[in-house]
Amino acid sequence: MNAPSPLLGLSAPDGSGRSVLVTGATGYVGGRLIPELLAAGFEVRAGARKPEALRDRPWADQVDLVRCDLSEPDEVRAAMDGVHTVLYLVHSMGSGGDFVDREQRIADVVAVAAEQAGVRQLVYLSGLHPDRPVDELSDHMRSRELVARRLDACSVPTLTFEAGVVIGTGSISFEMIRHLSERLPVMPGPKWLSNRVEPIAIRDVLYYLLHACALEEPVQARAQIGCGRAQTFASMLTDFAAEAGLGRRRVVPLPLPAQKLSGVWIGLVTPIPVGIAIQLAASLAEDAVTDDHEVARLIPDPPGGLTSYRAAVRQALARQAEGPLEVTWDADLTASAEPADPIPADPDWAGQTVYTDEREKTSTLPPAAVWSVIESIGGRNGWYSTPGLWRIRGWMDKLLGGPGLNRGRRDPRTLRVGDPVDWWRVESMERGRSLTLRAEMRAGGRAWLQLGVEGTPEGCVYRQRAVFMPSGIVGRAYWTAILPFHAVVFPSMAKNILEEAGRRVDGATVAD
């Protein structure tokens, strides 16, 4: 009987009794695929050069973690021992003149090890590229194609999926789309913005890989996968902006033919490291459109059909756009999350832009005394810092149609989840430890204020954190404009909250 898929919301194949090795388990696709394989009943072996990096994953105790440096034949052979299917999910994304040769050497190691270990099926995730002589492809697409040919020549049947731009938080191409769209209302860019691309949602990539591991008989085949609709890269930027509510974006392709130059441009405009951006630009040098849908002969389309580009963008943005702070910013997302969501292993530059102001102070006061001030903040009790600046900000918010400071509080001493506190609302609270307030003021983005206290042998630690997720260039301009105010408001807030807690302690002592 098929098990429910935790990420895809679809019916998973029955993987009972079949063992799978996932190479590149620390990567973007591998880390999201493993929970799917486990839910389907597969026996999963997760291979990585540093398997200790996987031990904090929520599924770590359900898989066999193995060291598997693909350049080391003995490690690869040992990792494949007793495995039915090997998922080859490793790409160098390196630069330098030898990376094409290096990837082919690694493919040879994998092919020989698979033959020696008696592996029944290899599954390789490659890149979608034009049908032309390999020498005419960019270095990165040429490398992908040559690796596929090396694996095809192996005696172990190889199913190669050729995918274009993968859409989901953490995907390098998607993060480039996100950051360019958020930062530039008018986007000048390299000429490959006019290239035709056929994107594919990460959930559909996982669907194909999952079902490839459950094929009844080994398959030797190439299969192109995409969403079924090609569009220019420029239109992907404007469609993203529309789904993200960023307003109209204008894209102007410029004659910047050099991959390195256009990669440097991406690195300067976005938080993606320049080295990775140069590699990304190289991978986007050609059109990436499927020529057929022969994959359906092997694996039927997902129930409900393939995910459109705009639907994939909505899936990637939904949780960050609507969820509370714990799931939009710093949650340890588990296997029940949407595959387009972020996971802790994603790079620091992946995901929505987040600005923070964090303060921490130690004190000899008891935690309960500090908590009493935290829970009574706002309303008539005020915000313990520069009241004049708070009033000015409140008047500005009222003029813009926001609640300002007029709402006050339901009760001067205690709070409940959902209570208004001036222009904030209580989003979550662990009484005695932490309070999260979500802003309802007009701010060009989403904002939170977190206040917390933790006991120590000497007294306590007070923590304070402001979090802001800007919406487009307006939000970024807003955060920049208020930085001087934050430099005054937040340090004095932390200092004055502790001083007020001390006064309350002293007052209680005198009363006794």
| Confidence at residue 259, expressed as pLDDT on a 0 to 100 scale | 62
- Give start-end residues of each CATH 3.30.530.20 domain in the chain: 355-511
| Confidence at residue 211, expressed as pLDDT on a 0 to 100 scale | 95
Distance in angstroms (rounded) separating the CA atoms of residues 180 and 190: 12
Q: At the topology level of CATH, where does 19-328 sit?
A: Rossmann fold (3.40.50)
**pLDDT tens-digit profile of 30-75?**
989 999 999 999 999 999 988 888 888 889 999 999 999 999 999 9
Provide the mean pLDDT of the chain: 85
297, burial (CB in 10 Å: exposed 0-12, middle 13-18, buried 19+): exposed
Q: Note the pTM of the prediction, 2 decimals.
A: 0.75
- Give start-end residues of each CATH 3.40.50.720 domain in the chain: 19-328
Sheet containing strand 64-67, strands side by side: 64-67, 43-48, 19-23, 85-88, 121-127, 158-163, 221-225
Whole-number Cα distances in Å, 361 to 218, 365, 491, 496:
61, 11, 10, 11
Q: Which CATH number fits domain 355-511: 3.40.50.980, 3.40.630.30, 3.30.530.20, 3.30.470.20?
A: 3.30.530.20
**pLDDT tens-digit profile of 402-436?**
777 777 888 989 999 989 998 889 989 999 999 99
